[in-house]
Structure 1
Amino acid sequence: MNRPHYILLPVSPLFIALSLTAAFMLNLLPWGHLIGAPDFVALVLVFWGIHQPRKVGIGMAFFMGLMMDVHDSTLLGENALAYTLLSYLAIMIHRRILWFPTMTQALHVFPLLLLTQLLQVLVRFIITGKFQGWLIFVESVVAIALWPVITWMLLAPQRRAVDRDHTRPI
């Protein structure tokens, strides 16, 4: 309770679009098939679903999922279904999560990312009949380790003061 609470500026829709585009570009890099490479689109979607649920909702999650389906050349709708569920759950619990510090937020986001990944693995198992192995779930652990960095980076533009006045504490 002793940590400072910052009054954040409104987020720019252009910044949200740039962050989602950057996350998509990070997922396009060839490290996506390595074990432990996080799903940056899912991480950024859950972040904006928690912090700006009216600006980034289920429709944006569905669109980003379709784009990832096309990129991964997977079953059309596999990622879209997972991202839509992730966005819905993030929006559903967004008011409660914002009361916690960043590390506790990460513990609340972990089951969401794990459930999303479990849904993707389940759909792939139903379609192909092959199980990818348990190491695939390391991605969620790595994503949660990145949660404080992502939070700091995506909230940084909102923390700057509109007009600097060194006599005000806010």
Structure 2
Amino acid sequence: MNNRPHYILLPANPVFIVVTLIAAFLLNLLPWGQWYGVPDFVALALVFWSIHQPRKVGIGVAFFMGLLMDVHDATLLGQHALAYTLLSYFAIMIHRRVLWFPMGTQALHILPLLMLAQVVQLVVRLLVSGRFPGWMYFLESVTSAALWPVATMMLLAPQRRAIDRDETRPI
């Protein structure tokens, strides 16, 4: 039997969604991007919002964020955009299923999506340059999936607070 408390979440504030996507983009701008295993914060934020708010954050937002990442990384224009668009599409496809599972199982559902995005980027990179970055390249997806529970707790925290607190009301 599941004894976890179920919260009735407040609606997600669109300003908060935009701020988190900007914060994820700024985290990707930091100079640690060349290290192996550093998560793709934009991909993680896009998957989170595509699962939790598929009507507010969808394929168009993913495409725009991908173009921003392409310009930042000075890669082939459309490499990240294609990967993030597919990532968002598949996240929206499974969003109802994923939310039924506990956090660890959700992370296991997110891992193949993040791997798919990396494989798409790798295929585009191989077609253009022919250079394989090595198998450690895929460590990024594993660390991003490992951060899923932390990201979920942080990004859902503003929605869990009550509008008017009342100690006698349990919700």
TM-score, normalised on structure 1? 0.99
Q: Which AA in structure 1 matches 2:26?
A: M
- Cα distance, 1:95 vs. partner? 0.5
Residue equivalent to 1:169: 170
Identity score, percent: 72
Is 1:96 the counterpart of 2:105? The answer is no
Inter-partner Cα distance in structure 1 for 2:136 and 2:99: 30
* Cα deviation digits, residues 109-153 of structure 1 (max 9, x gap): 000001110110111001101111100000011111111110000
Q: Which AA in structure 2 matches 1:150?
A: A
Residue equivalent to 1:7: 8
Question: How many residue pairs align between the two structures?
Answer: 170
Q: Which runs of 4+ in 1 moved over 6 A?
A: none
Inter-partner Cα distance in structure 1 for 2:23 and 2:49: 14
Residue equivalent to 2:125: 124
RMSD: 0.5
* Cα deviation digits, residues 72-124 of structure 1 (max 9, x gap): 00000000000000000000000010111111100000000011101101110
- Which ranges of structure 2 fall in alignment gaps of 5 or more residues? none
- Cα distance, 1:168 vs. partner? 1.3
- Cα distance, 1:55 vs. partner? 0.1
* Cα deviation digits, residues 40-65 of structure 1 (max 9, x gap): 00000000000000000000000000
Q: Which AA in structure 2 matches 1:7?
A: I
Instruction: Please list, as runs of the form range in 1=range in 2, the aligned pairs for 1:1-170 lying within 5 A after superposition.
Output: 1-170=2-171
Inter-partner Cα distance in structure 1 for 2:23 and 2:90: 23
SS in 2 for 1:4: coil
Inter-partner Cα distance in structure 2 for 1:93 and 1:142: 21
Deviates more, 1:139-148 or 1:59-68: 139-148
- Cα distance, 1:38 vs. partner? 0.7
